[in-house]
Every structure is written in C-alpha cells, then in structure tokens.
Amino acid sequence: MKSATKYIHAGSHPDPSTGAIMTPVYMTSTYVQEAPGVNKGYEYARSQNPTRAALEEALAVIENGKFGLAFSSGVAATDAVIKLLNPGDEVICANDMYGGTYRLFTKVFERFGIVFRYVDTTNAANVEAAVTANTKMVWLETPTNPLMNITDIAAVAVITKAKKLILVVDNTFASPALQNPLDLGADIVMHSATKYLGGHSDVIQGALVMNDTGLRDKLYFIQKSCGAVPGPMDCFLVLRGIKTLGIRMKAHCENGKIIANWLRANPKVAKVYWPGFEDHAGYAVASKQMKGFGGMISFELKNDSVEEARRVLSSTHLFSLAESLGGVESLINHPASMTHASIPREERIKNGLSDSLIRLSVGIEDAEDLVNDLAKAIG
C-alpha cells in the first residue's frame, strides 16, 4: 500500500454500531463488565480506550512497526522510555538535541542515577567510542533540533545491535512521511505527535512505536502504571491529522526548499541550516534515509547580534513568533531563549547553537507570501 493511502486508512474501521466512517470519541472513564474479569477488552480508560486503540494501531502502521503507544506529550513518551533503565545505566545521546529532552535527562533522571553521555552522533565512531559496560541505550535525533544535523541511523544500528543496546530515534522533525527509523534498525521510534502528526497546533501528544513484543509489554506497563495517557479527544485529533500527513509534508518540503534557497541567497543572512543543500555535511546520509528534507530551517544573520535577531523575530506577520513546530501555519522561534533555554549557554555555544540563531517551521501557506514576509522582516 502506498504511503498516501496508508495515512488515510491507518487505524480506521467503520463503527460497528452505526457504520460511522470516522472513529468515535469514546468519552468514558470506565466500562461495564458482564462479570468480574469478563469484559469486551476494556476495563478502565487509563489502561484502554477504543479511540486511543485506533490511534495506536495507526501509529504502528505509519511507522512500519508492530506496536504503537500514545502518551499525553512527547516528553511523557520520552519519560516512559528512560523508565526502562535502572540507576547506573548509561545513555549515549546527541550533544545537539531538543532542550526539553535535555532538561528531562539532566534535571530529572540524573537525580535517579541514570548517566547521560553527550557526543557528536553525526559520526557513528563517536557513538561506538562512548560505549561502556554500563551503556544500555542510544538516543538519537535526526535531523536535530535546531541545527539540522544528520545521523546515519543504519550505521548506529549496526553498533547497537552488536552491543545489544536499545536504539531510540526521535523522529519528530522528519515525521513518518520522510523517515522510518525502524526500517533502518532502530528499536523504538519516538514522536512529539503535537507536531507534524497532529499538524494543526491544536493538540499535545506523544507516541512510541516498536516491533519487539517484550519492549512493547514493558512500555505498556509503564504507560498504564504511570498514567501519562492522552484523552480520547486528543487521540481523535491526531488520528484526523494523520490522514493529511502525506499531502501536508509534501507542501512543507516544497515550501522549505524555496525558503531555504531564498535565505541562502539573501545578502543579510550569514548561514542557513537545512539538510537539503548538497554541501550540507549530512546531505548524503539524509538523501539515503529520508524521502525529503522537510520544512524545518535555522539561520543566522550577518549582523550576529541578539538585538537584530529579536528585531527580525518581532517583525514577521505570517511567521508567528511561538514555540512548537509542524503545524500548517508558519512559526518563527528563538531557540536560545525559547525551546532550548534549559541548556546552559556554555553548552549551547560549544555545540553551535548561537544566541542569535533563528529557527523556522515553514508552514503550507503560499511560498511567495512567506518569502515576502521574511523579506520585510529581515529588511
């Protein structure tokens, strides 16, 4: 089945009682049982909900996996994965990563004895060199947020399989439409479904997809026991969003290419971070493991001052100054003070995230309008 068809039909089954083509929103906390332990597969909504079940089936289908699990946010999904570990276990992760993930790792899980080692994962040899007897997991983002660095998932998977480590890939920036990490050897795929999967900036949700039954059972136990589950209306919204994922991502990619090339040609722009440029360090890998280069772009101005960056950030009209990404509308963001503020400045600068870096989530508006908006803002 082709991807565009798969996104529309994944998890969709006509309602058996009415024939409704859309999955009903089951707004219930509990389910009537015929006798103790005799039920229709549902007991309590923290453990199971039919709307959530349909979404979790869809998540598995669109990532070419066997099992999907939905969570109340992307951070909640990440939290569940790290709860697979024990005190003293080590995780190798990218030194360029989403600030919320870094905050969770350093401010929460380090207190419980989990050790995180940050390396440049764009070179798989760095990952292998960081492995110790205590390493249990490798956590990747590719493309990374916000510097758009690319890691060769298949190359890292060779290492993790040989060392019997769990390989987790945050696939939020690419979405299943552009990249399928399970096909490349990953064990778990994580999404902030708030972003491209939902696609309309109207829901907070996270997702995990995997093939291994043992991993699924452990993560389901954590999902049920810790309780970070999404409500049925949120599940419905992501199910609806997935139906248009293919056509939306095509538009994001088309607009992203236009905006990236326009920025690179602008005399007031010093550097543009976008993996679709042939001279991007990760272009060859991205071309191999991705079906498109996406609509996420970061850039720096030649006037590399925070003041000038703030002026541009406050001067756009179609690009709304806001956190998040992946919606149909375009957003502009200042990572140093917004999405990555939790990372110490010294660490940010060392890893290439400057105080003046600007990040764009290019939406699906008319590209000419978006170019004109940026042109007026940059001046």
The model's pLDDT over 301-346, given as tens digits with 9 standing for 90+, comes to: 999 888 999 999 999 999 999 999 999 999 999 988 877 777 788 7
Candidates 83, 136, 195, 243; catalytic one: 195
Concerning whether 44 is annotated as a catalytic residue, the answer is no
Please confirm whether the linkage preceding 232 is cis (ω < 30° from 0). no
The model's pLDDT over 5-22, given as tens digits with 9 standing for 90+, comes to 999 999 999 998 899 999
Candidates 46, 117, 224, 250; catalytic one: 46
User: What average pLDDT does this structure show over 110-124?
Assistant: 98
List of domains in the chain: 3-243 (3.40.640.10), 245-378 (3.90.1150.10)
Concerning whether 212 is annotated as a catalytic residue, the answer is no
User: What pTM value is reported for the model?
Assistant: 0.96
Q: How confident is the model at residue 348 (pLDDT cuts 50, 70, 90)?
A: confident
Candidates 98, 102, 118, 196; catalytic one: 98
Candidates 96, 170, 234, 373; catalytic one: 170
Concerning whether 202 is annotated as a catalytic residue, the answer is no
Burial class of residue 231 (count of CB atoms within 10 Å of its CB; 0-12, 13-18, 19+): middle
CA atoms of 352 and 182, how far apart (whole Å): 29
| Per-residue pLDDT, 335 | 87
DSSP code for 290? -
Concerning whether 170 is annotated as a catalytic residue, the answer is yes
218 alpha carbon, distance to own chain's centre: 22
CA atoms of 278 and 264, how far apart (whole Å): 13
